[in-house]
Amino acid sequence: MTVAHSDSTGRRARELGLELPGTPGPHNAITDVPGVEVGYRTLIHGEGPLVVGQGPVRTGVTAILPRGRAGVGRPCAAGWYSLNGNGEMTGTTWIDEVGELWSPITISNTHAIGACHTGVIEWINAVRPALARQWLLPVCAETWDGYLNDINGGHVIPEVVRAALDSARPGPVAEGSVGGGTGMNCYGFKGGSGTASRRISFGAKVFTIGVFVQANFGARAELTVTGCPVGRILDTPNPMESDDWLERDIAAPGAGSVIVIVATDAPLDAAQCKAIARRVPLGLARTGTTGSMFSGDIFLAFSTANDRPGATSFPARAISEAELETRIVMPWNRMDLLYAAVVPAVEEAVLNALFVNAEMTGRDGHRSPALPREAVLALVNSPGHRDRRPD
């Protein structure tokens, strides 16, 4: 079946009583940043032995529109960072060059990068044909879902990508096994899509940091929840980790990847966006990961402030002083406000991806168990752990 938006199967980390720092926005999602829209297409069908091209299929596409459908082509200041390069995010060399992002962002599986790239170009050609007459360098990112999915079957096609882009909306964001996160695993449990946000005060102004993760990383023993090393304590069987992982046709322990997108309406320039992206690993580390060599960990941050028309066409007219731009930018000596927001938001987004999820069985009977929420909460709330937590 093909699903546009799938409801979460469980309650989120904060709703279950986890004590997480910071004040979230109304949806505790990346869409709390005004203008940001998220869309999905989820592909789930088939069971049993793998037949390449037929399934079983456990995959999909996530689409993030930084300024919504109406704002395609209007640039955002942007910067990116790679903790480990065993992954892919297209369009980043151009972001390095000009410090801007003006295309949609798509996230899917590793072997769907080409289809996502083509699908975004086709979609922009349909909704902004004048923009498509210039060069297009979409941002398409991936994590590997081959443990559960027929990853070589070509199930993500440009039509699916266009549908994900068309479905993008503001407001609440579905989490767990939806969109590009459908076939993903995290710390030996069912992973996938997660989101969170934080509000920060700057004088009389209030800015928002929003985070979206596609979580497909981490070894079971690393999993840490609000400082409690639950992965080392839980006795839940882990069918995804084995000493003979290569012979069993499964991923190495800790393998996978994680893509993190950070949005904010705080007025940042490109260098400050890159500085935000460099703080993402600190939030991931709170959940326990040590950054496996087999995990591509790539992060992108953008600012929706300083909204203005794009300037992608070659100028054919005489140079005019009217083309000069004035922008408001956050002072560097106040960036700690944003760093202190993005780190716990990343942590919470990963926990949400884990907590809302249900068990999934994919190709060849490969099973990804759900996080045992009650057992985790019991460990986190045990007197010994609570006594060790800082106030």
194 has which bridge partners?
213
Catalytic, out of 257, 292, 303, 368:
257
Catalytic annotation present for 297: yes
Token reading at 12: 């989120």
- Nearest by Cα to 256 from 292, 230, 290: 292
Q: How far apart are CA 316 and CA 337, in angstroms?
A: 42
> What are φ and ψ of residue 21, in 5° steps?
-75, 155
Helices 336-355 and 270-286: crossing angle, nearest 10°? 50
Token reading at 212: 């979206």
Catalytic annotation present for 201: no
Catalytic, out of 32, 145, 265, 297:
297
Q: How far apart are CA 330 and CA 325, in angstroms?
A: 16
| Residue 266, SS3 per DSSP | coil
254 has which bridge partners?
218
> What are φ and ψ of residue 195, in 5° steps?
-150, 160
Catalytic, out of 177, 193, 197, 295:
295
35 Cβ neighbours under 8 A, 6+ residues apart: 66, 67, 68, 71, 170, 265, 304
Q: How far apart are CA 355 and CA 238, in angstroms?
A: 17
DSSP string, 196-245: EEEEEEETTEEEEEEEEEEEEEE-GGG--BTTB-HHHH-----TT--TTT
99 Cβ neighbours under 8 A, 6+ residues apart: 77, 78, 79, 269, 270, 271, 273
Catalytic annotation present for 269: no
| Residue 12, SS3 per DSSP | coil
Asked if residues 66 and 38 have their Cβ atoms less than 8 Å apart, the reply is: no
DSSP string, 302-330: EE--S------SPP-SPP-GGG-------
Q: How far apart are CA 330 and CA 335, in angstroms?
A: 7
| Active-site residue list | 257, 295, 297
